[in-house]
Structure 1
Amino acid sequence: MSDVTSIASSIMAMSQSQTQDQINLSLIKMKAQAEAAMADMIMQNARQIQALSSSSGNLIDLFV
């Protein structure tokens, strides 16, 4: 009976480890997607700043 319990415990530990690995991988993917979205937004902002500075004679008005 202890052999069955030992095998069951090993299977449960492996299953938990695999689940944790899947969660970690999902978190890494989500972080990479968020970083890519942030990089896209920064590039869009840079293009807008460049367009605004070109159209206004290299002067940008900042309203604070």
Structure 2
Amino acid sequence: MLLSMSPKELNRVDVIRDISERRLRQKDAAELLKLSRRHIQRACRISSLLVLNSDLTYISS
């Protein structure tokens, strides 16, 4: 499956991945992405439900 993502979306994916790998706190991620901490919590919860398979390819558009 091929997904086309903007640079902004790719950055968001990277930040959420950093949170899940405990390299970044939700509070700091909220500041980086200019979102509320609640939005970050929601994004992390949704991303934890998704299974990112190795067959997914991200392409910046």
Q: Do the two structures share a fold, i.e. TM-score over 0.5?
A: no
Look at both structures and tell me which one has the larger radius of gyration over its CA atoms: 1
TM-score by length of 1: 0.29
TM-score by length of 2: 0.30
Q: Which has the higher helix share?
A: 1
